[in-house]
Copies of this chain bind each other. A is one copy, B any other.
Amino acid sequence: MDSPIIAKAPVRTASLGKREQTKVQNREIILDAARKVFGELGFGATTVRDIIRATPLASGTFYNYFKSKEEVFQAIQDEMALTLRPRLRDERLKAKTVEEFISSTFRSFMEFVAEDHVSVRTIRHTADTTRVRIHTPEIVAGFEELREDIEKAIAQGLFPPVDADYLMASIVGVAFEVADRMMTREHRDPAAAAAFATALFVGGIRMLPHADHPAAKTGTA
């Protein structure tokens, strides 16, 4: 197999067969084109044709890799989630106090959004008024993970026994919405945005109603 003559070894792409190689390449070509086109036209306005047109490939080839533009979008989002999720989890596990738990989450998130503005802006800041948010399996898993970590923190006595589901939802809502605002500002400051969100939760968690059982049900009044 490995002939003594190494000369024409195909670049060095992990030495896969040519087949697998172009497969990976084409996938990336499509994703890159999609990022570009989504950024220019917005998610709603782009068509599968727009994406392949920004590519040297034929229309049929697209469907060998993705079922629809939605699936491409998902893949792009998943790529981001895959970067961010382990980072967040690691930092949360290291947290010894409520403040550390919360602040590490927001700091990582805001920094990621600010740094990766290429992708994020391309995707989220898309068109004018229409925001699309896809709940990728990977992203949903990230949310669940946060909720589990909150539950764990409650079990360890780090957090008071609050409604973990609502707390997770609140963190997610604040993270996304404040990040969005941050990106519209002239002087982007992820640290300040994270500090704001952190203070809100660190101060607020103490006041939260205590839910003795996981399934929280307070009376009507």
Contact = CB atoms under 8 A, between A and B. Distances in A.
Contact of A221 (B191, B206, B220): B191
A29 interface: no
Contact of A178 (B136, B173, B191, B201): B173
A117 interface: no
A165 B205 CA distance: 21
A128 B219 CA distance: 30
Interface in A186-212: 187, 189, 191-193, 195-197, 199-209
Interface residues of A, number: 53
Interface string A164-198: 01100110111111101100000101011101110
A200 B199 contact: no
A133 interface: yes
A146 to B, nearest CB: 12
B166 A170 contact: no
Do most interface residues of chain A lie in helix, strand or loop, or is the interface mixed?
helix
Given A70-B130, A209-B196, A191 B173 contact: no
A43 B181 CA distance: 26
Contact of A195 (B44, B197, B205, B218): B218
Given A189-B218, A191-B220, A192-B217, 4 more contacts: A169-B177, A172-B177, A192-B216, A200-B204
28 contacts: A74-B129, A129-B136, A130-B132, A132-B132, A162-B196, A163-B196, A169-B174, A169-B178, A172-B173, A173-B175, A173-B178, A189-B217, A189-B220, A191-B218, A192-B209, A192-B216, A192-B217, A195-B209, A196-B208, A199-B209, A200-B204, A201-B204, A202-B204, A202-B207, A203-B203, A203-B206, A203-B208, A204-B205
